[in-house]
Amino acid sequence: MSRCAMGKMRHVLLVLMFVPGIALAESAAGDGSAWLQKIASAAHLINYSGTFVYRHDGYMETSRIFHVSDANGEHERLEVLDGPPREIIRDNDEVICYMPEHKAVIVERRKAHKSFPALLPVQLSSINENYAIRLGSMERVAGYDCQNVMLEPRDVFRYGHRLCADSASGLLLKASTLNEKNEVVDQFFFTQASIGGNIDPERLKSKYAVKHQLSQQAMDAPVDPGWLVKSPPPGFMKIMALKRSFPGKKFPTNHLVFSDQLAAVSVFIEPLAGILKPVSGLSSQGAINVYTRPVGEYQVTVLGEVPAVTVMQIGNSVSLLAK
């Protein structure tokens, strides 16, 4: 094949890649999908700062956030303003989390997974399969005119979402998680936001001088063979499986992630021998449900921003195949 023909083919391929996007954008659901795209890119590419409230289980917490996107990537700082001092700082794939009860910071380094400032077509189609996407009403949040985008779950295994984004930039200013009764399970909303412009780099520095660092990270090791999640709820596919370390844990933990490309469920499997106080049962906070049960000599912890039934079904179908 001549180089010229190759070049032409590449053009045709490029055009083909964009055609489905254009076709989607023209349909009503496509408007919703286009908005999801806009929200996903804005979250990563726009500089912004502001104050937001997190509301869950009848409690409210106020936080301040600074986000900078520059030639070196993404840098963020989130600081909780009420209650015990807590802070999260992101520098690309490294997240440092300051929590007073640890008297230390936890450093999480991401591996094997790159954040990408856009939703891939495969992600969008999975979201479309599991949620009905439609545009909602306009709303004013923190002084900005916002477009509501509704994600209505097609079954009971996932929560609904109402995303409200600045109509000009696409920055998400209010996000509500809804249960099957359409009640708000948890919610974030900005009370003040500055979108765009420069942010003083000093704003991204930690306020807490902590000497003690605890590191946790994914390791270059596959999960132990034999572990099986037999019947994850429909639409949840395994997107990641790795061993990882946790601070203070003697043994490495198996970590599997299942996702419908919007919500995710993590399954952590670790030897009971390494756990001081094994627990068994269900726990929740806002949209996060945690289900723990022993399986043989192991403890299985399942958690995610999904209804209790989803973590339970996944947890109950974890089994270890005999070798």
Partner 1 sequence: MNEQISQLMDGELDDAQAQRFLGALQDSGMRREWQAYHLIGDVLRDTSAVSGDFMARFSQRLTEEPTVLAPRRLPARHSPRMLALSAAASMAAVGLVVWAVLQTGAPHAPAEMAAAKTQQVELASADVNPYLLAHQEYSPSVAMEGMAPYIRTVSEVHGANAR
Residue 38 interacts with partner 1 (CB under 8 A)?
no
| DSSP one-letter code for 44 | H
Q: Please identify, using beta-carbon distances, which residue of 206 and 317 lies nearer to partner 1.
A: 317
80 binds partner 1 (CB under 8 A): yes
Q: Is 199 in the site for partner 1 (CB under 8 A)?
A: no
Q: How far is the CB of 216 from partner 1 (least distance, A)?
A: 6
Q: Does 313 bind partner 1 (CB under 8 A)?
A: yes
Nearest alpha-carbon partner for 102 in 84, 116, 121: 84
Task: Decide if residue 208 touches partner 1 (CB under 8 A).
Answer: no
Residues in 244-273 that interact with partner 1 by CB under 8 A = 244, 246-247, 255, 257, 259, 261-264, 266, 268
- Out of 17, 27, 59, 194, the only residue in the binding site for partner 1 (CB under 8 A) is 59
Q: Name residues contacting partner 1, limited to 165-194 (CB under 8 A).
A: 172, 175, 186, 188
**Within a 10 A sphere around the Cβ of 165, how many other Cβ atoms?**
24
**Residue of 269, 278, 265, 260 lying closest to 312 (CA atoms):** 265
Q: Which DSSP helix (H) or strand (E) runs through 266?
A: strand 264-271
290 binds partner 1 (CB under 8 A): yes
For residues 35 and 1, what is the distance between their CA atoms, to the nearest angstrom? 41
Positions 112 through 141 that interact with partner 1 (CB under 8 A): 113, 115-116, 119, 123
For the beta carbon of residue 105, count every other beta carbon within 10 angstroms: 21
Residue from 67, 147, 170, 236 in contact with partner 1 (CB under 8 A): 67
Rounded CA gap, 231 and 206, in Å?
Answer: 43
* Nearest to partner 1 of 13, 319 (CB atom): 319
CB 134 within 8 A of CB 152: yes
- Identify the residue among 34, 88, 133, 223 touching partner 1 (CB under 8 A): 88
Residue 230 touching partner 1 (CB under 8 A): yes
End-to-end CA distance of the chain: 51
- The yes or no reply on residue 36 touching partner 1 (CB under 8 A) is yes
| Closer residue to partner 1 in complex, CB, 24/56 | 56
44 versus 203: smaller Cβ distance to partner 1: 44
Tell me: does residue 162 bind partner 1 (CB under 8 A): no
Contact between residue 153 and residue 130 where contact means Cβ atoms under 8 Å apart = yes
Q: Which helix (H) or strand (E) holds 314?
A: helix 308-316
8 Å CB contact between 253 and 270? yes
